Structure 1
Amino acid sequence: MAKISNIILVHGAWADGSSWAKVLPLLAAQGMTVTAVQLPLTAFDADVAAVRRAIALAEGEVVLVGHSYAGAVIGEAGNDPKVARMVYIDAFAPDAGESAGALFAQFEAAPLGAELRPDAEGFLKLSREGAFTLFAQDLSQSEKAAIYATQGPINGAALGGTLTAAAWRDRPVFYMIGDQDHAIPPVEQARMATRMNATITHVDSSHVPMLSQPQAVADFILSAAA
Protein backbone atom coordinates (compact mmCIF):
# COMPACT_ATOMS: atom_id res chain seq x y z
CA MET A 1 0.00 0.00 0.00
CA ALA A 2 1.17 3.51 -0.78
CA LYS A 3 1.82 6.03 1.98
CA ILE A 4 -0.99 8.53 2.60
CA SER A 5 -0.23 11.99 3.96
CA ASN A 6 -3.76 13.31 4.66
CA ILE A 7 -5.12 12.54 8.12
CA ILE A 8 -8.61 13.56 9.25
CA LEU A 9 -9.28 13.24 12.99
CA VAL A 10 -12.85 13.07 14.30
CA HIS A 11 -13.66 13.48 17.99
CA GLY A 12 -16.37 11.73 19.95
CA ALA A 13 -19.14 12.84 22.27
CA TRP A 14 -18.37 15.10 25.26
CA ALA A 15 -15.35 16.45 23.39
CA ASP A 16 -14.27 18.69 20.54
CA GLY A 17 -11.41 18.90 18.07
CA SER A 18 -9.00 19.95 20.82
CA SER A 19 -9.07 16.39 22.16
CA TRP A 20 -6.47 15.69 19.44
CA ALA A 21 -4.21 18.58 20.52
CA LYS A 22 -1.41 16.29 21.75
CA VAL A 23 -1.53 14.05 18.66
CA LEU A 24 -1.64 16.82 16.05
CA PRO A 25 1.98 18.02 16.43
CA LEU A 26 3.30 14.47 16.47
CA LEU A 27 1.63 13.75 13.13
CA ALA A 28 2.65 17.10 11.65
CA ALA A 29 6.27 16.44 12.63
CA GLN A 30 6.16 13.41 10.34
CA GLY A 31 4.97 15.47 7.38
CA MET A 32 1.28 14.68 7.68
CA THR A 33 -1.42 17.14 6.61
CA VAL A 34 -3.86 16.95 9.51
CA THR A 35 -7.42 18.20 9.98
CA ALA A 36 -9.36 17.90 13.24
CA VAL A 37 -13.08 18.11 12.49
CA GLN A 38 -15.45 19.98 14.80
CA LEU A 39 -18.67 17.97 15.11
CA PRO A 40 -21.83 19.89 16.02
CA LEU A 41 -23.10 16.87 18.04
CA THR A 42 -26.65 18.04 17.33
CA ALA A 43 -27.69 15.22 14.97
CA PHE A 44 -26.02 12.22 13.35
CA ASP A 45 -26.58 13.53 9.83
CA ALA A 46 -25.06 16.89 10.77
CA ASP A 47 -21.98 15.18 12.19
CA VAL A 48 -21.58 13.04 9.06
CA ALA A 49 -21.92 16.16 6.90
CA ALA A 50 -19.14 17.91 8.86
CA VAL A 51 -16.77 15.02 8.15
CA ARG A 52 -17.76 14.88 4.50
CA ARG A 53 -16.89 18.55 4.13
CA ALA A 54 -13.42 17.91 5.54
CA ILE A 55 -12.91 14.97 3.17
CA ALA A 56 -13.98 17.10 0.21
CA LEU A 57 -11.31 19.68 1.02
CA ALA A 58 -8.50 17.12 1.22
CA GLU A 59 -6.18 16.86 -1.76
CA GLY A 60 -5.72 13.17 -2.38
CA GLU A 61 -6.46 10.03 -0.40
CA VAL A 62 -7.32 10.21 3.29
CA VAL A 63 -6.79 8.20 6.45
CA LEU A 64 -9.98 8.76 8.45
CA VAL A 65 -9.68 8.46 12.24
CA GLY A 66 -12.57 8.32 14.70
CA HIS A 67 -12.72 8.21 18.50
CA SER A 68 -15.67 6.81 20.46
CA TYR A 69 -19.02 7.97 18.96
CA ALA A 70 -17.10 9.15 15.88
CA GLY A 71 -16.61 5.52 14.93
CA ALA A 72 -20.25 5.56 13.83
CA VAL A 73 -19.80 8.90 12.08
CA ILE A 74 -16.76 7.79 10.07
CA GLY A 75 -18.49 4.50 9.30
CA GLU A 76 -21.00 6.52 7.25
CA ALA A 77 -18.86 9.43 6.04
CA GLY A 78 -16.02 7.09 5.14
CA ASN A 79 -17.90 5.74 2.14
CA ASP A 80 -16.37 8.62 0.19
CA PRO A 81 -13.95 7.17 -2.41
CA LYS A 82 -11.15 9.45 -1.15
CA VAL A 83 -11.09 7.55 2.14
CA ALA A 84 -8.49 4.81 1.70
CA ARG A 85 -7.97 3.60 5.29
CA MET A 86 -9.82 3.91 8.59
CA VAL A 87 -8.59 4.04 12.17
CA TYR A 88 -10.81 3.46 15.20
CA ILE A 89 -9.63 4.65 18.63
CA ASP A 90 -11.76 3.18 21.46
CA ALA A 91 -14.64 3.59 19.04
CA PHE A 92 -18.06 2.24 18.18
CA ALA A 93 -18.04 0.29 14.92
CA PRO A 94 -21.64 -0.23 13.78
CA ASP A 95 -22.52 -2.10 10.61
CA ALA A 96 -25.19 -1.06 8.12
CA GLY A 97 -28.51 -0.63 9.91
CA GLU A 98 -26.82 -0.30 13.32
CA SER A 99 -26.12 2.75 15.49
CA ALA A 100 -23.69 3.59 18.27
CA GLY A 101 -26.58 3.73 20.73
CA ALA A 102 -27.88 0.31 19.75
CA LEU A 103 -24.44 -1.22 20.24
CA PHE A 104 -24.04 0.55 23.59
CA ALA A 105 -27.35 -0.87 24.79
CA GLN A 106 -26.09 -4.39 24.07
CA PHE A 107 -22.86 -4.05 26.05
CA GLU A 108 -22.82 -6.24 29.14
CA ALA A 109 -21.00 -3.69 31.30
CA ALA A 110 -20.72 0.01 30.48
CA PRO A 111 -20.56 1.94 33.77
CA LEU A 112 -20.38 5.32 32.04
CA GLY A 113 -24.04 4.97 31.09
CA ALA A 114 -25.11 5.68 34.67
CA GLU A 115 -23.23 8.99 34.63
CA LEU A 116 -25.05 10.61 31.69
CA ARG A 117 -27.34 13.51 32.54
CA PRO A 118 -30.00 14.55 29.98
CA ASP A 119 -31.28 18.12 29.81
CA ALA A 120 -34.75 19.30 28.79
CA GLU A 121 -33.79 19.26 25.09
CA GLY A 122 -32.39 15.74 25.10
CA PHE A 123 -28.69 16.61 25.18
CA LEU A 124 -26.56 14.31 27.32
CA LYS A 125 -23.82 15.60 29.59
CA LEU A 126 -21.26 13.68 31.63
CA SER A 127 -21.47 13.99 35.39
CA ARG A 128 -18.34 15.13 37.22
CA GLU A 129 -17.93 11.62 38.62
CA GLY A 130 -18.22 10.15 35.14
CA ALA A 131 -15.66 12.52 33.65
CA PHE A 132 -13.15 12.11 36.46
CA THR A 133 -13.36 8.38 37.25
CA LEU A 134 -14.73 6.65 34.14
CA PHE A 135 -13.99 8.79 31.08
CA ALA A 136 -10.50 10.15 31.72
CA GLN A 137 -9.31 8.57 34.95
CA ASP A 138 -5.65 8.40 33.89
CA LEU A 139 -5.23 12.14 33.26
CA SER A 140 -4.07 14.78 35.74
CA GLN A 141 -6.65 16.48 37.95
CA SER A 142 -6.37 19.69 35.94
CA GLU A 143 -6.90 17.85 32.65
CA LYS A 144 -9.92 16.03 34.07
CA ALA A 145 -11.35 19.34 35.21
CA ALA A 146 -10.83 20.81 31.74
CA ILE A 147 -12.58 17.86 30.10
CA TYR A 148 -15.53 18.18 32.45
CA ALA A 149 -15.80 21.95 31.99
CA THR A 150 -15.44 22.00 28.20
CA GLN A 151 -17.30 18.81 27.27
CA GLY A 152 -19.58 18.94 24.26
CA PRO A 153 -22.99 17.56 25.23
CA ILE A 154 -24.43 15.32 22.53
CA ASN A 155 -28.04 15.14 21.39
CA GLY A 156 -29.18 11.71 22.50
CA ALA A 157 -30.86 11.18 19.13
CA ALA A 158 -27.46 11.40 17.40
CA LEU A 159 -26.44 8.17 19.10
CA GLY A 160 -29.36 6.53 17.32
CA GLY A 161 -28.15 7.49 13.84
CA THR A 162 -27.92 4.33 11.73
CA LEU A 163 -25.45 3.58 8.96
CA THR A 164 -26.74 3.11 5.43
CA ALA A 165 -23.50 1.34 4.50
CA ALA A 166 -20.45 0.56 6.64
CA ALA A 167 -17.33 2.02 5.03
CA TRP A 168 -15.08 -0.36 6.97
CA ARG A 169 -16.34 -3.29 4.90
CA ASP A 170 -14.41 -2.05 1.83
CA ARG A 171 -11.20 -0.63 3.31
CA PRO A 172 -8.24 -1.60 5.48
CA VAL A 173 -9.18 -0.95 9.10
CA PHE A 174 -7.05 -0.38 12.20
CA TYR A 175 -8.40 -0.50 15.77
CA MET A 176 -6.80 0.64 19.05
CA ILE A 177 -8.29 -0.81 22.25
CA GLY A 178 -7.85 1.07 25.53
CA ASP A 179 -7.42 -1.66 28.12
CA GLN A 180 -8.66 0.57 30.98
CA ASP A 181 -11.67 1.94 29.10
CA HIS A 182 -14.81 2.23 31.28
CA ALA A 183 -16.93 3.87 28.57
CA ILE A 184 -16.73 1.18 25.86
CA PRO A 185 -15.62 -2.05 27.57
CA PRO A 186 -12.43 -3.50 26.02
CA VAL A 187 -14.12 -6.87 25.46
CA GLU A 188 -16.78 -5.14 23.36
CA GLN A 189 -14.14 -3.21 21.46
CA ALA A 190 -12.40 -6.49 20.68
CA ARG A 191 -15.62 -7.98 19.35
CA MET A 192 -16.23 -5.03 17.06
CA ALA A 193 -12.62 -4.96 15.86
CA THR A 194 -12.67 -8.70 15.16
CA ARG A 195 -15.91 -8.37 13.20
CA MET A 196 -14.20 -5.74 11.04
CA ASN A 197 -11.14 -7.94 10.55
CA ALA A 198 -9.14 -4.96 11.79
CA THR A 199 -5.45 -4.71 12.57
CA ILE A 200 -5.65 -4.47 16.37
CA THR A 201 -3.37 -2.92 18.95
CA HIS A 202 -3.78 -2.35 22.68
CA VAL A 203 -2.83 0.59 24.88
CA ASP A 204 -2.88 0.84 28.68
CA SER A 205 -5.29 3.75 28.72
CA SER A 206 -8.67 5.12 29.69
CA HIS A 207 -11.25 6.07 27.06
CA VAL A 208 -9.06 8.99 25.94
CA PRO A 209 -5.69 7.56 24.86
CA MET A 210 -5.09 10.50 22.52
CA LEU A 211 -4.68 12.57 25.70
CA SER A 212 -3.09 10.02 28.04
CA GLN A 213 -0.95 8.15 25.48
CA PRO A 214 -0.62 10.54 22.52
CA GLN A 215 2.61 9.06 21.18
CA ALA A 216 1.09 5.58 21.02
CA VAL A 217 -1.96 6.96 19.20
CA ALA A 218 0.15 8.98 16.77
CA ASP A 219 2.38 5.99 16.03
CA PHE A 220 -0.65 3.81 15.35
CA ILE A 221 -2.15 6.36 12.97
CA LEU A 222 1.19 6.70 11.20
CA SER A 223 1.42 2.93 10.79
CA ALA A 224 -2.01 2.97 9.13
CA ALA A 225 -0.94 5.84 6.86
CA ALA A 226 2.26 4.01 5.88
Structure 2
Amino acid sequence: MKTTINTALAATAATLAILAISPASAKDAIPQNQLVKNVVLVHGAFADGTGWRAVCDRLTQQGYRVTIVQNPLTSLEDDVAATKRALAQQDGPTILVGHSWDGTVITEAGVDPKVVGLLYVSALSPDAGETTAKQYEGFAPATEFVLNTGEDGFAYVARDKFKAGFAHDVSDADATFMANSQVPINLAAFGTKLKNAAWRTKPSWAVIGKEDKAFDQAMLLRMARRINARVTRVSASHALFMTQPEVVADTIDTAAKAASK
Protein backbone atom coordinates (compact mmCIF):
# COMPACT_ATOMS: atom_id res chain seq x y z
CA MET A 1 0.00 0.00 0.00
CA LYS A 2 1.35 3.42 -0.97
CA THR A 3 0.94 6.41 1.25
CA THR A 4 2.70 9.63 2.20
CA ILE A 5 4.49 9.59 5.53
CA ASN A 6 1.80 11.87 7.02
CA THR A 7 -0.93 9.35 6.17
CA ALA A 8 1.13 6.37 7.30
CA LEU A 9 1.79 7.97 10.66
CA ALA A 10 -1.80 9.01 11.30
CA ALA A 11 -2.70 5.60 12.69
CA THR A 12 0.10 5.76 15.22
CA ALA A 13 -0.08 9.42 16.21
CA ALA A 14 -1.15 10.34 19.74
CA THR A 15 -1.59 13.89 20.99
CA LEU A 16 0.07 14.13 24.38
CA ALA A 17 0.80 16.98 26.77
CA ILE A 18 4.35 18.35 26.77
CA LEU A 19 6.11 17.36 29.94
CA ALA A 20 9.00 19.27 31.46
CA ILE A 21 12.06 17.30 32.53
CA SER A 22 15.25 18.07 34.34
CA PRO A 23 17.84 15.32 33.88
CA ALA A 24 21.26 15.84 35.38
CA SER A 25 23.41 18.27 33.45
CA ALA A 26 26.30 16.79 31.50
CA LYS A 27 28.61 19.23 33.27
CA ASP A 28 27.82 17.49 36.57
CA ALA A 29 29.49 14.32 35.29
CA ILE A 30 32.15 15.54 32.82
CA PRO A 31 35.28 17.30 34.11
CA GLN A 32 35.48 20.95 33.07
CA ASN A 33 37.96 22.07 30.39
CA GLN A 34 38.17 18.55 28.95
CA LEU A 35 38.50 18.48 25.18
CA VAL A 36 35.62 16.86 23.31
CA LYS A 37 37.10 14.30 20.92
CA ASN A 38 34.34 11.68 20.75
CA VAL A 39 31.54 11.69 18.18
CA VAL A 40 28.67 9.20 17.89
CA LEU A 41 26.77 9.18 14.58
CA VAL A 42 23.26 7.71 14.40
CA HIS A 43 21.60 6.98 11.04
CA GLY A 44 17.93 7.48 10.27
CA ALA A 45 15.25 5.34 8.68
CA PHE A 46 15.74 3.69 5.28
CA ALA A 47 19.53 3.94 5.63
CA ASP A 48 22.38 2.40 7.58
CA GLY A 49 25.59 3.57 9.19
CA THR A 50 27.68 3.36 6.02
CA GLY A 51 26.07 6.58 4.83
CA TRP A 52 28.20 8.44 7.39
CA ARG A 53 31.47 7.32 5.73
CA ALA A 54 32.50 10.71 4.33
CA VAL A 55 31.63 12.51 7.59
CA CYS A 56 33.55 9.88 9.55
CA ASP A 57 36.62 10.21 7.32
CA ARG A 58 36.73 13.99 7.76
CA LEU A 59 36.33 13.81 11.51
CA THR A 60 38.92 11.06 11.86
CA GLN A 61 41.41 13.18 9.92
CA GLN A 62 40.79 15.96 12.43
CA GLY A 63 41.61 13.67 15.33
CA TYR A 64 38.12 12.73 16.48
CA ARG A 65 37.22 9.27 17.72
CA VAL A 66 34.11 8.33 15.75
CA THR A 67 31.58 5.61 16.55
CA ILE A 68 28.76 4.79 14.14
CA VAL A 69 25.56 3.22 15.44
CA GLN A 70 23.78 0.53 13.40
CA ASN A 71 20.15 0.91 14.38
CA PRO A 72 17.69 -1.99 14.01
CA LEU A 73 14.83 0.47 13.30
CA THR A 74 12.44 -1.95 15.02
CA SER A 75 11.29 0.36 17.82
CA LEU A 76 12.27 3.53 19.61
CA GLU A 77 13.42 1.45 22.58
CA ASP A 78 15.63 -0.75 20.40
CA ASP A 79 17.25 2.20 18.63
CA VAL A 80 17.85 4.01 21.93
CA ALA A 81 19.43 0.84 23.35
CA ALA A 82 21.77 0.59 20.35
CA THR A 83 22.77 4.22 20.80
CA LYS A 84 23.35 3.77 24.53
CA ARG A 85 25.66 0.83 23.79
CA ALA A 86 27.72 3.11 21.57
CA LEU A 87 27.79 5.84 24.22
CA ALA A 88 29.00 3.31 26.78
CA GLN A 89 32.12 2.81 24.64
CA GLN A 90 33.12 6.45 24.81
CA ASP A 91 35.99 7.48 27.07
CA GLY A 92 34.91 11.07 27.62
CA PRO A 93 32.56 13.89 26.57
CA THR A 94 30.77 13.19 23.31
CA ILE A 95 28.87 14.97 20.56
CA LEU A 96 25.80 12.92 19.60
CA VAL A 97 24.53 13.27 16.03
CA GLY A 98 21.27 12.00 14.52
CA HIS A 99 19.75 12.13 11.05
CA SER A 100 16.01 12.25 10.34
CA TRP A 101 14.12 9.72 12.55
CA ASP A 102 17.15 9.41 14.77
CA GLY A 103 16.76 12.94 15.97
CA THR A 104 14.09 11.32 18.12
CA VAL A 105 16.58 8.68 19.24
CA ILE A 106 19.32 11.15 20.23
CA THR A 107 16.72 13.26 22.01
CA GLU A 108 15.93 10.27 24.25
CA ALA A 109 19.43 8.80 24.54
CA GLY A 110 21.23 12.14 24.79
CA VAL A 111 20.52 12.54 28.50
CA ASP A 112 23.53 10.26 29.00
CA PRO A 113 26.04 12.29 31.06
CA LYS A 114 28.78 11.76 28.46
CA VAL A 115 26.78 13.72 25.88
CA VAL A 116 27.72 17.41 25.90
CA GLY A 117 26.15 18.47 22.61
CA LEU A 118 23.53 17.35 20.09
CA LEU A 119 23.44 17.78 16.32
CA TYR A 120 20.19 17.30 14.41
CA VAL A 121 20.77 16.64 10.69
CA SER A 122 17.39 17.34 9.06
CA ALA A 123 16.12 15.52 12.11
CA LEU A 124 13.10 15.24 14.37
CA SER A 125 13.20 16.61 17.91
CA PRO A 126 10.12 15.77 20.01
CA ASP A 127 9.74 16.89 23.59
CA ALA A 128 9.31 14.56 26.55
CA GLY A 129 5.78 13.18 26.56
CA GLU A 130 5.38 13.73 22.81
CA THR A 131 5.44 11.22 19.99
CA THR A 132 7.44 11.59 16.81
CA ALA A 133 4.19 11.56 14.84
CA LYS A 134 2.99 14.66 16.67
CA GLN A 135 5.76 16.71 15.03
CA TYR A 136 3.99 16.42 11.66
CA GLU A 137 0.71 17.89 12.87
CA GLY A 138 -0.24 21.13 11.13
CA PHE A 139 2.39 20.88 8.39
CA ALA A 140 2.08 20.16 4.69
CA PRO A 141 2.37 16.49 3.66
CA ALA A 142 5.61 15.41 2.00
CA THR A 143 4.03 14.41 -1.29
CA GLU A 144 7.29 13.37 -2.99
CA PHE A 145 8.35 11.19 -0.05
CA VAL A 146 6.22 8.11 -0.65
CA LEU A 147 6.24 4.98 1.53
CA ASN A 148 5.26 1.41 0.83
CA THR A 149 4.01 -0.04 4.11
CA GLY A 150 3.65 -3.77 4.63
CA GLU A 151 1.02 -5.58 6.66
CA ASP A 152 3.60 -5.94 9.44
CA GLY A 153 3.85 -2.16 9.77
CA PHE A 154 7.37 -1.84 8.36
CA ALA A 155 7.80 0.76 5.65
CA TYR A 156 10.20 1.35 2.75
CA VAL A 157 10.52 4.41 0.55
CA ALA A 158 8.88 3.52 -2.77
CA ARG A 159 11.71 2.62 -5.16
CA ASP A 160 10.29 4.61 -8.06
CA LYS A 161 10.13 7.69 -5.81
CA PHE A 162 13.35 7.17 -3.89
CA LYS A 163 15.62 9.57 -5.76
CA ALA A 164 13.05 12.37 -5.96
CA GLY A 165 11.95 12.02 -2.35
CA PHE A 166 15.11 11.00 -0.53
CA ALA A 167 18.28 11.77 -2.49
CA HIS A 168 17.81 13.83 -5.64
CA ASP A 169 21.38 15.15 -5.38
CA VAL A 170 23.13 11.79 -5.85
CA SER A 171 23.80 9.97 -9.10
CA ASP A 172 21.19 7.66 -10.59
CA ALA A 173 23.43 4.68 -9.83
CA ASP A 174 23.87 5.71 -6.19
CA ALA A 175 20.16 6.40 -5.77
CA THR A 176 19.33 2.97 -7.16
CA PHE A 177 21.79 1.30 -4.78
CA MET A 178 20.42 3.25 -1.82
CA ALA A 179 16.87 2.31 -2.74
CA ASN A 180 17.80 -1.35 -3.13
CA SER A 181 19.71 -1.49 0.18
CA GLN A 182 17.38 0.60 2.35
CA VAL A 183 16.51 -0.60 5.85
CA PRO A 184 12.77 -0.51 6.66
CA ILE A 185 11.43 1.08 9.82
CA ASN A 186 8.61 -0.06 12.06
CA LEU A 187 6.20 2.87 11.84
CA ALA A 188 4.81 2.01 15.27
CA ALA A 189 7.97 3.69 16.61
CA PHE A 190 6.53 7.03 15.55
CA GLY A 191 3.69 6.55 18.02
CA THR A 192 5.94 5.97 21.06
CA LYS A 193 6.12 8.86 23.50
CA LEU A 194 9.50 10.03 24.75
CA LYS A 195 10.49 9.94 28.40
CA ASN A 196 13.33 12.45 28.04
CA ALA A 197 14.28 15.44 25.90
CA ALA A 198 18.05 15.91 26.01
CA TRP A 199 17.86 19.21 24.13
CA ARG A 200 16.31 20.79 27.22
CA THR A 201 19.65 20.59 29.04
CA LYS A 202 22.23 20.08 26.28
CA PRO A 203 23.32 22.65 23.65
CA SER A 204 21.99 21.80 20.20
CA TRP A 205 22.92 22.42 16.58
CA ALA A 206 20.94 21.70 13.41
CA VAL A 207 21.88 21.27 9.76
CA ILE A 208 18.86 21.48 7.48
CA GLY A 209 18.68 20.53 3.80
CA LYS A 210 16.79 23.30 2.02
CA GLU A 211 15.65 20.83 -0.65
CA ASP A 212 14.59 18.13 1.81
CA LYS A 213 11.44 16.42 0.49
CA ALA A 214 10.83 14.21 3.52
CA PHE A 215 9.78 17.11 5.74
CA ASP A 216 8.02 20.42 5.31
CA GLN A 217 10.70 23.11 5.66
CA ALA A 218 8.47 24.98 8.09
CA MET A 219 8.38 21.86 10.23
CA LEU A 220 12.18 21.54 10.32
CA LEU A 221 12.62 25.20 11.18
CA ARG A 222 9.92 25.10 13.84
CA MET A 223 11.61 22.16 15.56
CA ALA A 224 15.04 23.80 15.36
CA ARG A 225 13.71 27.04 16.87
CA ARG A 226 11.96 25.21 19.69
CA ILE A 227 15.15 23.47 20.79
CA ASN A 228 17.13 26.72 20.43
CA ALA A 229 19.49 25.09 17.94
CA ARG A 230 22.24 26.94 16.12
CA VAL A 231 21.03 26.37 12.55
CA THR A 232 22.95 25.89 9.30
CA ARG A 233 20.92 25.60 6.10
CA VAL A 234 22.43 24.07 2.99
CA SER A 235 21.18 23.28 -0.53
CA ALA A 236 20.73 19.52 -0.21
CA SER A 237 18.23 16.67 -0.21
CA HIS A 238 17.15 14.58 2.76
CA ALA A 239 20.36 12.59 2.20
CA LEU A 240 22.53 15.55 3.25
CA PHE A 241 24.32 13.32 5.77
CA MET A 242 25.89 11.76 2.66
CA THR A 243 25.87 14.63 0.16
CA GLN A 244 27.08 17.43 2.46
CA PRO A 245 29.72 15.72 4.61
CA GLU A 246 31.92 18.80 4.85
CA VAL A 247 29.10 20.96 6.23
CA VAL A 248 28.02 18.25 8.67
CA ALA A 249 31.60 17.53 9.82
CA ASP A 250 32.37 21.23 10.22
CA THR A 251 29.25 21.69 12.36
CA ILE A 252 30.27 18.74 14.54
CA ASP A 253 33.71 20.31 14.93
CA THR A 254 32.12 23.62 15.89
CA ALA A 255 29.92 21.88 18.47
CA ALA A 256 32.86 19.97 19.92
CA LYS A 257 34.97 23.10 20.26
CA ALA A 258 32.10 25.00 21.86
CA ALA A 259 31.53 22.18 24.36
CA SER A 260 35.25 22.06 25.17
CA LYS A 261 35.30 25.60 26.54
Q: TM-score range by the shorter chain?
A: over 0.9
Change (3 A) 1:2 1:130: farther
SS at match of 2:54: coil
Q: 2:246 aligns with which of 208, 215, 218?
A: 215
TM-score, scaled to structure 2: 0.83
> Within 2, Cα distance between the matches of 1:156 and 1:35?
26
> Within 2, Cα distance between the matches of 1:182 and 1:150?
20
TM-score, scaled to structure 1: 0.96
Which letter maps to 2:195?
A: T
1:146 CA drift (Å): 1.2
1:161 CA drift (Å): 2.1
1:120 CA drift (Å): 2.1
1:112 CA drift (Å): 4.5
> Within 1, Cα distance between the matches of 2:180 and 2:38?
31
Are 2:51 and 1:15 equivalent residues in the alignment?
A: no
Q: 1:204 aligns with which of 225, 235, 243?
A: 235
Gapped regions of structure 2 (runs ≥ 5): 1-32
Instruction: Name the residue aligned to 2:195.
Output: 164
Q: 1:39 aligns with which of 61, 71, 83?
A: 71
Instruction: Name the residue aligned to 1:76.
Output: 108
1:98 CA drift (Å): 1.4
1:105 CA drift (Å): 4.3
Are 2:218 and 1:187 equivalent residues in the alignment?
A: yes
Gapped regions of structure 1 (runs ≥ 5): none
Which letter maps to 1:155?
A: N
**Paired residues, number:** 225
1:143 CA drift (Å): 1.1
SS at match of 1:219: helix
Instruction: Name the residue aligned to 1:91.
Output: 123
Which letter maps to 1:167?
A: A
| Deviation by residue 1:138-183 (Cα, 9 ceiling, x = unmatched) | 1111110111011000011112222112000001100111100010
Which letter maps to 1:86?
A: L
Structural RMSD (CA) = 1.3
> Within 2, Cα distance between the matches of 1:198 and 1:75?
13
Tell me, yes or no, if the aligned pair for 2:144 and 2:164 is still in contact at 8 Å.
no
Larger-Rg structure: 2
1:29 CA drift (Å): 0.3
Tell me, yes or no, if the aligned pair for 1:91 and 1:184 is still in contact at 8 Å.
no
Which letter maps to 1:187?
A: A
Instruction: Name the residue aligned to 1:145.
Output: 176
Which letter maps to 2:62?
A: Q
Q: 2:161 aligns with which of 130, 134, 138?
A: 130
Which letter maps to 1:161?
A: T
Percent of pairs identical after alignment?
43
> Within 2, Cα distance between the matches of 1:42 and 1:179?
29
Which letter maps to 1:37?
A: V
